[in-house]
A and B are shown apart, each in its own frame.
Chain A
Amino acid sequence: MPLVDALLIDLLGLPFMQRALLAAVFTGVAAPVVGAYLVQRRLALMGDGIGHVAVTGVALGLLTGTSPIWAAVIVAGLGAITIELIRAQGRTGGDLALALLFYGGIAGGVLITGIAGQSPQVLHEYLFGSISTLSTHDVAVTLGLAAVVLLVGLGLLPQLFAVAHDGEFAQVAGLNVRLYNIVVAVIAAITVTVAMRTVGLLLVSALMVVPVATAQQLTNSFRTTLIAAMALGTGASVGGLLLSAWASYHARISPGPTIVLLALACFVLTWPLGAWLRRRRRLLTPFPDSEPATHEVADGHPHTHSDDCGHPAIPHGDHVDYVHDGHRHAPHGSHYDEH
């Protein structure tokens, strides 16, 4: 193992690795911020929709010879606003609007890349990320855009929270709901473009949504979910990058999928814990304080309940009921009552 550590330290000394780490940190912090608002509105797939639209943006950048990042920001932004407007307009719902843009975006992207005379291989580095080939300029753009996302996403937290939680209430409270929805759509588009080079357009949404899904297994407030998701997102993107760099001595491992799979692994490990905690909480909730209609004695009860007998003791009015085999047994003198 000392050899491995030495390799890792060598890697960290390489400029391309340092650039990649910077991009990974900022992407990992910023993506879950937007993801939290999307999940709150039950639009977890919106990031995917925007990601598909951004493919057309990248292709337009290749066609016109301009920077694919900026072309992607603009096209993804327009796509995100379109999704938002379709959603706000009709009863069609967000999912259909998303589906329509999914197909248009990816078909347009592949078509235009062909027209631009590029091979589909060029698109590959945008679809699945290429964090190790970032230039200094790319990193600067990534940091700048991620900072914008963080500033807007955290600075406007009370407003964005209220609008995403209950749009009608927010409107009567005097907030410009449509404007705030468009703000979320635009920072979502920016995040997609930021994460495009880290994990790729097809996996962008994972970095936005999976940390939020993981965090909410264990939290009960929006704020702690957001903070935990930011920590998890950063951990996954930095950890995934290092893991893939270390493993690349043995096999061809791309950072993008490694980051996403690491984030998913966190979810898989957290989910049973969350499920167990929820079940426990439900089980131990006190029973409503009402006396049973009749005095019914549990017959044939050789077992003696106590604090540590293993059966859940659940508060019921001024006493506890021991729960086992579908019964609630309350101690009464030398016997147990059925409650």
Chain B
Amino acid sequence: MLTHRHTQGDGVVAVRDGAVAIAGRPILRGIDLDVRRGEFVALLGPNGSGKSTLIRALTGLRPTAGGSVSLFGTPLAKFHDWPRVGFVPQRPSAASGVPTSVWEVVASGRLTRRRLFRPLLRHDRAAIRDALDVVGLADRARDGVSTLSGGQQQRVLIARALAGEPELLFLDEPTAGVDRANQEALADALGLLSRRGATIILVAHELGPLEPLVDRVVMMRDGRIVYDGPPAGRDHAHPDHGHHHDAPRPDHLPQVSGPLDSPGAR
């Protein structure tokens, strides 16, 4: 295993000419991306630019229409080493239809490393406690998730991904709708993980307190990568200046609710 890793080098994520289509419409085109071990990458871009779609393609949630995606040197189709990957999806809340404790949500992240019909072992519990410590919610473990604030719930979702002790962590808009104090708590957690050697790829609208952690910014626009390099303010002008003032972009798929609708005519 070790020699194998040596031959594949430090590449954690590799995309060659990646393309994703949704319902036949090409969304992502010509994506080339290499992420090395330990990098902290931010995917930026306006709404509808394909940031989340790219994350979903990298995690196998969205099939690619062309090109190749590999994780840890293995093509995605043959990749089964999911315990090495953590994922924080974009969700409005960590709650569901039945009351759930913070501990239970975080413990479900440990499933990647548990066998069927086997209870939580001591090291599983230790990993769950550590994940809660990292996001600063150890004292809320027994509380119901729905009693937490939105920002705290986001941190619970991050702890859930951490419980599986991933080497590669994908986060889809972890800072969306989260206040400054919680963004800072989140940045502390991600900084700690990064120092422990994890590779982090996150989608964000604005970096905020995450900015000092980011090694590399990948800017997307209309399904293509338009910038890939160091974050703004270090040695480049802000590549994304003023994107909030852009005209609203159409979403990936035009709304067609009936066969006689003409898309876009509203």
Give A213 to B59 CA distance when docked, in angstroms: 35
Mask: chain A, 157-176; 1 = CB below 8 Å from B; 0 = not = 01101101110111111110
Query: Is B104 at the interface (CB under 8 A from chain A)?
Result: yes
Interchain residue pairs A-B with the least CB separation, the first 7 = A174-B82, A220-B144, A221-B101, A172-B87, A162-B108, A40-B98, A42-B97
Residue pair B82, A173 in contact (C-beta under 8 Å): yes
Residues of B within 8 A of A44 (CB): 97
When C-beta atoms are compared, the residue in chain A nearest to B56 turns out to be A168
Query: Is A155 at the interface (CB under 8 A from chain B)?
Result: yes
A to B CB contacts below 8 Å, 25 in the list: A40-B96, A41-B96, A41-B97, A156-B116, A161-B108, A165-B105, A166-B91, A166-B108, A168-B61, A169-B87, A170-B108, A171-B61, A172-B61, A172-B85, A172-B170, A173-B112, A174-B112, A212-B98, A216-B98, A221-B101, A221-B144, A222-B98, A222-B100, A225-B99, A281-B147
Residue pair B100, A165 in contact (C-beta under 8 Å): yes
Residue pair B116, A223 in contact (C-beta under 8 Å): no
Q: Is the interface of A mostly helix, strand, loop or mixed?
A: helix
Residues of A within 8 A of B107 (CB): 158
Question: Of A155, A171, A173, A216, which contacts B99 at CB under 8 A?
Answer: A216
Residue pair B104, A161 in contact (C-beta under 8 Å): yes
Shortest distance in angstroms between B185's beta carbon and chain A's nearest beta carbon? 15
Residue pair B116, A159 in contact (C-beta under 8 Å): yes
Give A220 to B100 CA distance when docked, in angstroms: 6
Residue pair B98, A175 in contact (C-beta under 8 Å): no
Query: Is B143 at the interface (CB under 8 A from chain A)?
Result: yes
Give A165 to B103 CA distance when docked, in angstroms: 13
Mask: chain A, 210-221; 1 = CB below 8 Å from B; 0 = not = 001000100111
Residue pair B96, A164 in contact (C-beta under 8 Å): yes
Shortest distance in angstroms between B160's beta carbon and chain A's nearest beta carbon? 7
Residue pair A169, B99 in contact (C-beta under 8 Å): no
If the complex has contacts A158-B111, A161-B108, A172-B85, are A222 and B101 also in contact, measured as CB distance less than 8 A? Answer: yes
Among residues 98 to 147 in chain B, which have CB atoms less than 8 Å away from a CB atom of chain A?
98-101, 103-105, 107-109, 111-112, 114, 116-117, 142-144, 147
Question: Of A41, A173, A219, which contacts B111 at CB under 8 A?
Answer: A173
Residues of A within 8 A of B160 (CB): 169
Query: Is B150 at the interface (CB under 8 A from chain A)?
Result: no
Query: Is B48 at the interface (CB under 8 A from chain A)?
Result: no
Give A158 to B40 CA distance when docked, in angstroms: 31
How many residues of chain B have a CB within 8 Å of chain A? 35
Query: Is A245 at the interface (CB under 8 A from chain B)?
Result: no
Residues of B within 8 A of A39 (CB): 97-98
Residues of B within 8 A of A36 (CB): 98
Size category of the A interface is 20 to 34
Shortest distance in angstroms between B103's beta carbon and chain A's nearest beta carbon? 8
If the complex has contacts A158-B108, A172-B60, are A221 and B99 also in contact, measured as CB distance less than 8 A? Answer: yes
| Further 19 A-B residue pairs, CB within 8 A, beyond A171-B60, A220-B143, A225-B99 | A36-B98, A39-B97, A44-B97, A161-B108, A162-B108, A164-B96, A165-B108, A166-B91, A169-B89, A169-B161, A170-B111, A172-B59, A172-B82, A173-B82, A173-B109, A174-B112, A219-B99, A221-B142, A281-B147
Give A173 to B162 CA distance when docked, in angstroms: 12
Residues of B within 8 A of A162 (CB): 108, 111
Give A40 to B147 CA distance when docked, in angstroms: 17
Among residues 28 to 47 in chain A, which have CB atoms less than 8 Å away from a CB atom of chain B?
36, 39-42, 44
Shortest distance in angstroms between A103's beta carbon and chain B's nearest beta carbon? 22
Residues of B within 8 A of A175 (CB): 111
Residue pair A220, B101 in contact (C-beta under 8 Å): yes
Shortest distance in angstroms between A233's beta carbon and chain B's nearest beta carbon? 15
Query: Is B18 at the interface (CB under 8 A from chain A)?
Result: no
Query: Is B266 at the interface (CB under 8 A from chain A)?
Result: no
Give A216 to B80 CA distance when docked, in angstroms: 37
Give A155 to B118 CA distance when docked, in angstroms: 9
Residue pair B98, A225 in contact (C-beta under 8 Å): yes
Residues of A within 8 A of B170 (CB): 172
Shortest distance in angstroms between A317's beta carbon and chain B's nearest beta carbon? 16
Give A156 to B99 CA distance when docked, in angstroms: 19
Residue pair A168, B96 in contact (C-beta under 8 Å): no
